[in-house]
Amino acid sequence: GQQLNQSPQSMFIQEGEDVSMNCTSSSIFNTWLWYKQDPGEGPVLLIALYKAGELTSNGRLTAQFGITRKDSFLNISASIPSDVGIYFCAGQRGVRETSGSRLTFGEGTQLTVNP
Amino acid sequence: SQTIHQWPATLVQPVGSPLSLECTVEGTSNPNLYWYRQAAGRGLQLLFYSVGIGQISSEVPQNLSASRPQDRQFILSSKKLLLSDSGFYLCAWSVSLRVRPFFGPGTRLTVL
């Protein structure tokens, strides 16, 4: 089956530092999504990428859809304590209305920000 | 605006007991609905998805089943829970043409 390799598994940084995490796959995906999950809550969508090479920003977050369509990265600039949480990448190979949309998730990156 | 609800928020059940988790979506029609399980706070695994009433697709063989009795209601069930069924269960929805699932608040299930 499809697998996403997300790295790093965990990061411990100081407030103000920049953060970078990425996902790679042996399969091509047509959509990449990045989610953040706070403890005990459901994941919240941060950024959605739909085109190879696309670079999208959402405040201090920037994500890119790799040219090969097999990878994506997420950068967080000037981290703050509330950035703490688990960040997940998710990929989808295609969207067909009859089959529904389906995602493959990475294992997550646990981010800890020390004030 | 759309909202998604799950209940209960937490549940502790003995091994062998039945299970019923409920998910409802408001503010949209004919959503795609999903059940995910998350073990140990990492790695979401898709269990079931549904594109319409009575239409259920299972992603992995398991001890669980799903049903969609109404357009915006999705239920996760089990006749006899196993210890391995413990985890964080997340319901999600999306519109059919674009991939942007929105997750519910989740249910923490502990099987003892």
* Tens place of pLDDT per residue across chain A (115 aa): 457 899 999 999 999 999 999 999 998 988 899 999 998 889 999 999 989 999 999 999 999 999 999 999 999 999 999 999 999 999 887 654 433 357 888 999 999 999 8
Sign of the CA dihedral running A107, A113, B4, B7:
positive
Sole residue written with tokens 């994500």: A63
List residues of B whose CB lies inside 8 A of any A CB. Answer: 32, 41-46, 49-51, 57, 59, 90, 92, 94, 96-106, 108
Distances (CA, A) of A80 to A34, A44, A46, B61, B99: 18, 18, 16, 41, 29
> What digits encode the pLDDT tens for the residues B17-62?
999 999 999 998 899 999 999 987 568 888 998 989 999 988 777 7
Question: How far is Cα A84 from Cα A37, in angstroms, rounded to an integer?
Answer: 9
Phi, psi of B17, rounded to the nearest 5 degrees: -85, 160
Cross-chain CB nearest to B44 (options A45, A100, A105): A105
Question: How far is Cα A68 from Cα A62, in angstroms, rounded to an integer?
Answer: 18
Contact list in A for residue B101 (CB cut-off 8 A) is 45, 101, 103
Please tell me the predicted confidence (pLDDT) of residue B96: 66
Backbone angle region of A85, left / alpha / beta, with phi > 0 → left and psi within -120 to 50 → alpha: left
